Amino acid sequence: MNKTTVKSRWPEGLSDPSGSRQPKPRAKGRTMIIDKGIGMHAFEDLLSTSGQYIDIIKFGFGTSPLYPPEVLRMKIDAASKYGISVIPGGTLLEAAVRLDVVPGFFRQALACGFTGIEVSDGTINMSRSMRNDLIRDAISLGLTVYTEYGKKLSGSRIDIRHFAETAEQDWACGAELVTVEARESGKGVGLFDEQGEYREGELGAILEAIPNMDRVLWEAPLKEQQVYLIRELGPNVNLGNIPVSDVLTLETMRRGLRSDTFGLHREPYIDYMI
């Protein structure tokens, strides 16, 4: 049976009315998704439909050791073909720190094909010197490092001065991005309150402490949070903990192809109805 090749194109500019999105590899506007354990077929479907819009895939929490090894390797290899950085969840490294098996963690991460790691202390206490060592050791092994700031305990807030100091030190050690914790739920942690709504005035205070947001990634699993950050920081804000089902939805909002951000980054809205 002959296959029909689709050669026609959408009108110029229609795929990105914002006029601001960059192709991969992107220096800003990166999207990190959280994979909580979807199967290989669903994973391949995700990549075929949305792979060009995903920059980082995090295998959430400590799920990585629970996969059949061959399935884990297949998923990592498939994502890497799309130019996606693949990392285990930061909780897994925290467990390795607690169990004193960090060298083994690094060996296995490399053996599995992971291209990066997340260094976090959301559930444990970690000294600054240990955080520095973990970042530098991972980079020396050829891994990209994404760090995370904030505790996972409900009610945890952002200490803005401490966050700014932590971010600067992480970047000085070679971290690619510093992520602001919001958990999988997006509620009661960091920038967001117990209902998942942004804390009034907090983002502005953070911007005063860290004016350049290109190296900060905000966990924002809920649509309203994504809309808020896009409206406040622009379509090229780095966003993380995006559910696998929401990749295309987020990209439409970045580009002004959904009513929530329609016309936000172009000329003011004009009623074209005659």
Q: Which residue has the higher pLDDT, 13 or 77?
A: 77
Q: What pLDDT is stored for residue 184 in this prediction?
A: 77
HSE, side-chain direction, 13 A CA sphere, residue 260? 19
Whether residue 254 is predicted with pLDDT greater than 70 in this model: the reply is yes
Query: Residues 230, 196: contact at Cβ < 8 Å?
Result: no
Per-residue model confidence as pLDDT tens digits over 120-130 = 999 999 999 99
Of all residues in the chain, what percent carry a pLDDT higher than 70?
Answer: 94
Whether residue 176 is predicted with pLDDT greater than 90 in this model: the reply is yes
- CA distances 223 to 85, 197, 240, 247, 250, Å, are 23, 11, 12, 11, 8
Tokens 């803005």 -> residue: 160
**Which class for 1: exposed (0-12), middle (13-18), buried (19 or more C-beta within 10 A)?**
exposed
Q: How confident is the model at residue 153 (pLDDT cuts 50, 70, 90)?
A: confident
What values do phi and psi take at 104, rounded to 5?
-65, -35
DSSP structure string for 134-173: HHHHHHHTT-EEEEEES--STT----HHHHHHHHHHHHHH
Query: What are the residue boundaries of the structural domains of the chain, listed by start?
Result: 31-256
Query: Residues 216, 182: contact at Cβ < 8 Å?
Result: no
Per-residue model confidence as pLDDT tens digits over 9-18 = 889 889 999 9
In terms of average pLDDT, the best of 173-187, 202-216, 240-254 is 240-254
- CA distances 91 to 32, 38, 118, 120, 196, Å, are 16, 19, 9, 7, 22
Query: Residues 225, 249: contact at Cβ < 8 Å?
Result: no
Q: What pLDDT is stored for residue 96 in this prediction?
A: 98
Reference 35, options 26, 45, 25, 27; nearest CA is 45
Q: How confident is the model at residue 103 (pLDDT cuts 50, 70, 90)?
A: very high
31-256 has CATH 3.20.20.70 classification: yes
Of all residues in the chain, what percent carry a pLDDT higher than 90?
Answer: 78
Q: Provide the whole-model pTM.
A: 0.91
| Tokens at 90, concatenated | 């930061």
Mean pLDDT of 39-47: 98
Q: How confident is the model at residue 228 (pLDDT cuts 50, 70, 90)?
A: very high
Mean pLDDT of 64-82: 97
Instruction: Assign 3-state DSSP to the chain and report helix, strand, coil percentages, each to 5.
Output: 40, 15, 45
Whether residue 29 is predicted with pLDDT greater than 60 in this model: the reply is yes
Question: What is the amino acid identity at position 264?
Answer: L
Query: Residues 82, 45: contact at Cβ < 8 Å?
Result: no
Specify the 3-state DSSP secondary structure of 17. Answer: coil
